[in-house]
Amino acid sequence: MRSKKPFYPYTLWMAIFVIVPLAMVLWYSFTDNNNSFTLENFKYVGDNLSTYLDSLKIALISTVVCLVVAYPFSYIMCKCKVSTQRMLNTLVMLPMWMNFILRICAWVMILRPQGILDNLLGVLGFGNNTIYHSETAIIIGVVYNFLPFMILPIYTTMAKIDKSLIEAGEDLGCNGFKVLKKIIFPLSLPGVITGITMVFVPAASTIVIGERLGGYSLLGDVIDSYYKGPSVDMHIGSAMSLVLMIIILISIAVMNHFDNGEDLAVV
């Protein structure tokens, strides 16, 4: 009989870094400063409803943009020779080697008035840009930071597709578009679902990007403000975090509904 002891370290890890923090969030969400049960903390969710909607909208738009960019890029990567694939993989991951805040500051330098983009547009005769401190600037920042999380799972899934299935489709008369539609896309759907999840979840709770590029706070910034600074209130912050977590879990459940786990495509 196989021993279960090797699983103990993982169970302990999950308990310390997942279950315990989640239990603390639940505790603070439903208690006040006197550790008494209360639902008062959740009234701040209603007060920040517009922030929730703005953050989820930006996360959704950014996820769609990432998918539109990542899918054809991943498809092209799979068509390249192995050495080119490795180089492109490195280029995709290269920005992730830099600190998150530094990447945001770089975009501030690009988009701010009299910044790099302004000067470039001036040289080309297009006038000044109006992107800085706008929703568009936030979306640019989110897409730039989380695009690799969409590309890598889609590329990995596509790279594992059995080439004989594609050849069989071509032998049966499928052109390039039909092969993509009936074979490659169905088989790459698990990677798409994973990519959507990996982008949408952090995008919905991201911090700094909204304040630095958009000029206003997103939900992650609001929650963060309740854990530090003069307005510290872990009970309110936990309640808002709990509601966001529930929304994200529901979104993930809906997305996973479209992933039936099938590994075969119908030609």
Residue appearing with tokens 């701040």: 44
Both tokens of 182, joined, read 């009936």
Q: Is the dihedral of CA 230, 31, 218, 148 positive or negative?
A: positive
DSSP-derived letter for residue 218 is: -
The number of beta carbons lying within 10 Å of the beta carbon of residue 113 is 11
Q: Tell me, what amino acid is at 248?
A: I
Average pLDDT over residues 16-45: 92
pLDDT score of 71 more than 70: yes
Average pLDDT over residues 155-164: 90
pLDDT score of 43 more than 50: yes
What are the C-alpha distances in Å from 187 to residues 45, 48, 168, 174, 191?
Answer: 40, 40, 15, 16, 9
Contact 196, 63 (CB under 8 A): yes
Q: Range with the lowest mean pLDDT among 15-24, 167-176, 209-218?
A: 167-176
CA 33 to chain centre: 34
Nearest 10 degrees: CA dihedral of 214, 220, 223, 229? -60
Q: Tens digit of pLDDT for each residue in 91-128?
A: 999 988 889 999 999 999 999 988 888 888 878 877 77
pLDDT of res. 6: 59
pLDDT of res. 14: 81
Q: How far apart are CA 28 and CA 31, in angstroms?
A: 5
Contact 38, 28 (CB under 8 A): no
pLDDT score of 244 more than 70: yes
